[in-house]
Amino acid sequence: MIMEEWNGSSSTKLSKTAVLTVSSSSFSLQRYDSRFNEVSRRILEAFVPEGFPTSVTPDYAPFQIWDSLQGLSTYIRTMLSTQALLSAIGVGEKSATVIGATFQWFLRDFTGMLGGILFTFYQGSNLDSNAKMWRLVADLMNDLGMLMDLVSPLFPSAFIFIVCLGSISRSFTGVASGATRAALTQHFSLQNNAADISAKEGSQETVATMAGMVLGMLLAHITMGQPLIIWFSFLSLTVFHMYANYKAVCCLSLTTLNKQRCSILLQHFMKSGQVLSPQQVSKLEHILPVWASSWYSKTSKLTHKKIHLGVRISSLSHSEMMDLFVAPGSYYKEVKYLLMEKEGVVSIVLHKQSTAADVLQSYLHALVLGNLLGKSNSMHAECQEWMDKHYEVFTTKLQSSGWQTERLLASSIVWKANWNCVPSNDKNK
């Protein structure tokens, strides 16, 4: 009897490691894998998900490489900023008191916790829909926090204020980074292995942390007492850190639909009748915050900036209310949303019984209306005609191209309405 030994966590990536031959009078074992290869494979399995690379999306490996590099630069800079912070608190000074240093450290942590709660309150529901942007913002805020720590010894009279600002900045990083990491982990998972991906990401981060700590301690020792070299090293690593973060985010090809991706996809479909792939849309996405590039607001033709989702009806003017009363009986009889256009802005009023599919449909309908603004005198009629003819085709092509069409990633919708259409000319809402 001949028995073969195969190794590999994926059925498509198996390698033969040994052949066992047994007969009535003999026994032989032939190995095909060296001890070195076996050890290296075991080490690799501690850092990559089981079944890699088929168990994760293709953008997993390049993202993790850039993410580890940016993490390494962060931990090196942390040693420089921590050294400056401890010096400002008074470590090593005879005049410094334990209670004084403890109070300063407590105040720093307290303001950071408070800042994290406030940031979650104002932006918590928006993190999932703009994971790429908030990933960059999180690391930018972390850079600002470390910069505050490094600056703090230069202004002793304002030390507490500067340190607290840095702590608040880093608290934003903790919330945004954790939330976006969860969203990206779900994206990478192809075999319901999100927990495995998260665990292996933790191993990768631990190695980067250890290497960063060693290099950071070495750099801190070399640059001690040389402020110009410290600042040059810190700023150089910060530039590399932001570049690595940008490259990591650019590697991502998310398949979920948010407002910007819907706008890109729909505009291209209305022009060509074809749907872009997630990789193609990723190259067209604007991932920097709008305030980070003033030219974007002037050159961008995306209509998603002109759409308000989940409008509160009690905030509308009298003329807007009258237009809205007519809408249910005209173009929106069989849907659970209403659209209203004024001064180039399309507002969406959602029915209280609207589902996730209705929200996505209403937003795509509003995008179509936004693209027709100024091109026709009967925009609502043409828009409804386009939806009747092309909407099902568009969503079917989205699904076949790998897009997730179950819902629209957007901020929480807290305002909805209820209306009933009656046979007469009067409309009740």
Residue 51's Cβ-side half-sphere holds a number of Cα atoms within 13 Å equal to: 17
Q: Per residue in 89-133, pLDDT tens?
A: 554 444 445 565 666 767 777 888 888 788 777 775 677 788 888
- Return the amino acid letter for 337: Y
Mean pLDDT by 10 residues, the chain (429 residues): 70 68 73 66 80 87 93 88 68 52 72 81 72 88 89 84 88 83 89 89 90 89 86 92 93 93 94 94 84 50 78 84 69 83 86 93 93 74 90 95 92 85 48
- Stated pTM of the model: 0.79
- Do residues 368 and 391 make contact, with C-beta atoms less than 8 angstroms apart? no
Of 306, 415, 317, the C-alpha closest to 359 is 415
Strand partners of residue 4 = 19
In 3D, which of 357, 426, 315, 355 has the Cα closest to residue 340? 315
Classify 308 as helix, strand or coil: strand
Given this model, what pLDDT does residue 429 score?
39
Instruction: Tell me the C-alpha distance between 201 and 297, whole Å.
Output: 36
Sign of the Cα torsion 274, 279, 283, 288 reads positive
Which residues fall within 8 angstroms of residue 223, CB to CB, at 6 or more apart? 80, 229, 230, 233
In degrees and rounded to multiples of 5, residue 425 shows phi and psi of -75, -15
DSSP 252-295: ----SEEHHHHHHHHHHHHHHS----HHHHHHH---S-GGG-HH
- Name, in order, each residue with C-beta under 8 angstroms of 419's C-beta and a sequence gap of 6 or more: 328, 338, 351, 427, 428, 429
Q: Looking at residue 158, what DSSP letter applies?
A: G
Tokens of 150: 């490094």
Instruction: Kindly list the structural domains of the chain, giving each domain's residue range(s) and its CATH number in brackets, ordered by start.
Output: 2-45 (no CATH), 60-251 (1.20.1250.20), 259-409 (no CATH)
For residue 179, the model assigns a pLDDT of 80
Taking the C-alpha atoms of residue 64 and residue 71, their distance in angstroms, rounded to an integer, is 10
Residue with tokens 């991706």: 261
What letter does residue 153 receive in the DSSP assignment? G
